[in-house]
Amino acid sequence: MAGYLIIINNYLHDVATAMILSLTVIMVFISSRAGDGPEERERFAAEIYSIFSKLAALSLAWVIAGGIPRAIFFNRYELIPAREKGIAGVLVFKHIILFMMVAAGLLLWRRIRNRLKR
């Protein structure tokens, strides 16, 4: 049973990472348009930013909280099976990409916040 819970945790951990990236991409688009037009557009962007910020914060919290059991059981449920299949390098590459996605999302989120404050 514990194995299933770890696998579900790992899946949801990846989904939370994708949520951060998705919300960031959408917010970059919205915020890039907000400063160009009427006050109504800027208000809309600020409202969406508030909602998306909460979702992104929740996703980041899950990335951190879900990362703890993932790190603890990484060898047993991810690395060893990947080695047996000969794809350990791909697994490491995936985690590097996921880390970079979260880091880029956080940096972009700060830029968006600063743009909307102007």
How confident is the model at residue 36, as a pLDDT?
61
What are the residue boundaries of the structural domains of the chain, listed by start?
2-117
pLDDT in tens, 30-66: 887 776 667 877 788 888 989 999 999 999 999 999 9
Q: Where are the beta strands (DSSP E) in 17-104?
A: none
Which residues, including other chains, have CB under 8 Å from residue 27's CB and lie 6 or more apart? 48, 49, 52, 108, 109, 112
Contacts of 111 (CB under 8 A, 6+ apart): none
Distance CA 101, CA 108 (A): 10
Q: What is the pLDDT of residue 89?
A: 95
List the structure tokens of 98.
């996921």
Question: How many whole angstroms separate alpha carbon 1 and alpha carbon 17?
Answer: 25
Please give the pLDDT value at position 43: 82
pLDDT band at 12 (very low <50, low <70, confident <90, very high): very high
pLDDT value of position 105: 87
